[in-house]
Amino acid sequence: MAETSSLRAALIIPALNEEAVIGRTLARVPPGLYEAILVADNGSTDGTAEAARAAGATVVHEPERGYGAACLKAMAHLPPEIDVVVFMDADSSDNPAEAPRLLAPIAEGRADLVIGSRTLGEAEPGALLPHQRFGNALATFLIRILYGHRYTDLGPFRAIRAEALARIGMRDRNYGWTIEMQVKAVQHGLRVEEVPVSYAKRIGVSKVSGNAKASVRAGVKILWTVFRLAWLR
The SS3 call for residue 114 is strand
Query: Out of 91, 153, 180, 194, which residue is the one contacting ligand GDP (CB under 6 A)?
Result: 91
Return the closest-CA partner of residue 50 out of 84, 26, 68: 26
Which x/- pattern, by CB under 6 A, does the window 34-53 give for ligand GDP?
A: ------x-x-----------
Which x/- pattern, by CB under 6 A, does the window 120-159 give for ligand GDP?
A: ----------------------------------------
CB of 82 to Mg ion, least distance (A): 25
By beta-carbon proximity to ligand GDP, the closer residue of 90 and 165 is: 90
Cα–Cα distance for residue pair 65/99, rounded to 1 Å: 26
Handedness of CA 158, 42, 126, 183 (dihedral sign): negative
Q: Specify the amino acid at residue 145.
A: I
- Phi first, then psi, for residue 2 (nearest 5°) are -70, 160
Q: Residue 119: name its binding partner from ligand GDP, Mg ion, none (Cβ under 5 to 8 Å by kind).
A: none
The answer to whether residues 228 and 176 touch, using CB atoms and an 8 Å cutoff, is no
Position 173 contacts ligand GDP (CB under 6 A): no
The answer to whether residues 38 and 13 touch, using CB atoms and an 8 Å cutoff, is yes
Position 118 contacts Mg ion (CB under 5 A): no
Q: CA separation (Å) from 128 to 186, 214, 222?
A: 25, 15, 17
Q: Residue 65: name its binding partner from ligand GDP, Mg ion, none (Cβ under 5 to 8 Å by kind).
A: ligand GDP
User: Which residues sit at the interface with Mg ion, rule CB under 5 A?
Assistant: 91, 93, 202
User: Which residues sit at the interface with ligand GDP, rule CB under 6 A?
Assistant: 14-16, 18, 40, 42, 65-67, 70, 89-91, 93, 202, 206-210
